[in-house]
Structure 1
Amino acid sequence: MYATISRSVTKLINFECMKKAFISFSVCLALLTAVAVPTSASATALTTGQIQAVVSLLQAFGVDTTTVTNVQQILGGAQTSTNNASTTALTSSMIGFLRLGDKGDGVKLLQTILAADPSIYPEGLISGFFGRLTKEALKRYQHKHGLDQVGFIGPKTLRDIDDDLNENPIAAEHDDGHATSTVSIGKGHICAIVPPGHLIAPGWLRKYDGERPTIPVCQTLPPGIKKHLDGEENQPATDIIAPIISAISIGSVASTSASISWATNEPATSKVYFATSTPLDLSIATTVTGSGLLTAHALTLSPLTASTTYNYIIESKDVSNNIATTSQNFFTTLSL
C-alpha cells in the first residue's frame, strides 16, 4: 500500500516541478526524497509530523491548495469512493503553520475547530481567510490551552488542535451534489463525526441560514471509525451526563472564613472557586478542593478578609469526568 501512496505523491510532485519553473532542482529533490522511504509490510502511512513536513515544503513554494490537499489525502492513506457518498476524516496535518493573511482549506478547518466553542469564536465565520476575527479567536484558544497568545499556529498549538480533533473529529463528505453542509472543502463539505451516544460540539449547531447547522453530522462514518465502533457495539454505554448540584447552603460565615455545602445526585468531587472580583475568572480564582467522590459536600473557605463580598462557583465532577458547575453566587464576611 505504501508503495502505491509513494508513487502517487511522486507523480504529483513531478507535475508541480514541471509546472512551477521557479522551484529549484534541490527543492524538488527534497520533496521527492521525503516520500521515497523504504517500503515494508509494516509501513502503511507516514506519521502526522512527516506528512506536515512535506505539506510545509509544498506550501512554502506556492503549490496550489488542491494539490496540497491531494498530497495530504494520499499520504494519510485516504481512499476515494465510487459510491454517491464517501467520508474522509480530516487531520491537523491539513492546517499547517497558519498566520494572518493566509487562506485556503486549511484555514477553513482551523475556523471549524475554533467555532466548536462559541466562547472561543463567537462569530463562527468559516470563510477560508485568516483575518482579524480568526486571529483573535486563535488567541483565545491558545489562552484556554495555556499557550502563549501569539495569534498564529506553531507546533504546540498544532498538537492541541490534534487533540481536539481526536475529541471532536470532523470529515470531508463527498456526495452527489446534495450537500447538507454550507462549508465546502476540496470537492466535498465539512461535517462532524458524531458516533452514537456522543454529542455534537455546540458551536457547530449555529444556524447558517435559519435552517441548516453550519457543520452538520456526517451522513456516513469514515471506514476506520465505523470499524472501531462496530467492535464496541457490546461495550457498556458511556456516561455523558454531568452530576446535578442542589441544596446549596452558606453556613457559619465569620470574619475570616465561611462554609459552603451542597448535594449531588451521584458520587462526585468537591471544588469551590472564589474571589472578590466579578465576573469570576476561574483561571485565576482561589480554589478549595475536597477529597473523594461524595453526594454530600461541605468545604470551608479561608482565610478571608472581614467585611468583604466574595463571589463563588461550585464544581463537581463524576467518575466519568462529566463536570457540573453552578452559576456565580456571593456572600459577605462579618466585620471584626
Structure 2
Amino acid sequence: MKSGQVSDFTEDTITLRKREIKVRTGFLPHHALLFYAENPRIYSIVWKEDGDQPTQEEIFEALAKTAHVRETLVPSIRSNGGLIEPIMVRKNVVLEGNSRLAAYRLLAQKDANAWELIRVRILPDTISDSEVFSLLGEFHIVGKKDWSPFEQAGYLYRRFKTHGIDEKQLQREVGLTTAKIRHLIHVYDFMLNANDRNPERWSYYDELLKGRRFNQARDLYTNFDHKITEMIQSEEIERAVDIRDGLPKIVKIGGNTLKKFMNDKLSFHDAVHEAHHRGAGNYYIKKLKDIKSFLAEDNLDEELARVSGEERSNLSYLIQRIAARVNQIAKKINGNSH
C-alpha cells in the first residue's frame, strides 16, 4: 500500500487458549513499530552474554544480515507488493513477524514512500506476556514449525523458567511429549551455562545430553561434560555426528583409552581410532546381530505362518525384498574379500 493510503482497520478475532481475542487488521507506518527483543529468533542471535537487552538498531542489523531476510523475504515481499500475512503487534511491538519487518525496512531504504506502510494485526493491550508466548508457540512449534531446535528450546525454557508453565501445560500447548520438552529445556540450560548461544552448535549438545550413553564416563570423570564442551567450542570435535558416533566408542571401550583421552594424552580423533582398533562400537555387526537374534527367536516360524490376508501379503513382500538386499550385500562383501 502506498503512502497516504491508510485504510480503516477491520475487526476480527483469533482463538487462543479456548477464548476469542479481538484483533484489528490494517496498515501502520513501519518506522512506528519496535522489534520484540524476547522473540526466540532475536533472542538466539542478538542477546549479549551479559544479559543486556539489545538495541533496536542491533536487532535490525542482525536480522537484515540473515539469508532468510535478504534472499527470501525481501524478494517475496517486493514481488507481492506487500505482506500476504500481516505482522502481529501489541503496543507497537512486533510480537510475530520481526523478520518481515526487517525485510520491509530494507525495501524502504531503496524507496521510502512505496514501503512506508506495513500490514499489521493489532492485539489488545491487555493480552499478557504469558499469552504472547503461548501464541508464538502456536505459530512456530505447533503451526509452521519454522524455529530451529535452539529457538524452540529457548521458547520452552523461558515459558518454564520465567512464566512458570509446567511441563504438562507445555505439552498441551505445543504437542511435544514431556520427555522431549524436558530434554530441550535441559540442553538449552546447559548451553547457557556453557556460555554458548550459537544455534549452529545445538546438535552437538543435543547428542551429548541425549540418553544415558555417557553416564559411565560421567561417573568416572566429573569433568567429562566440561571437557567435551571445550572440544566443541574449540572445534576439536568438528561435527555433531562425531559425538553421536565417535564419542560412544571411546566411552564404551573405556579403560586406558578413556583415561588417556580424559588426561589429554590422546586427541579426540586419536582416541576414536584407538577405540575402533580395540573393537569398540562395530555398528554394522551389532545391527546384523540384532536381526539375526530376532530371526532366531523360538516359534517365530509358526507365528509368521499364522498371519493371513493383507498382512501376509505385506509380510511376504518385505521378506522377499530383504532377502534380495542381503544377497546383494553378500556378493559385494564376498567379492571384496578376495
Which TM-score band (shorter chain)? under 0.3
What TM-score, normalized by structure 2, do the two folds share?
0.27
Structure scoring higher RCO (CA < 8 A, sep ≥ 6) equals 2
Relative to its length, the structure with more helix (as a share) is: 2
What TM-score, normalized by structure 1, do the two folds share?
0.27
Relative to its length, the structure with more strand (as a share) is: 1
Larger radius of gyration: 2
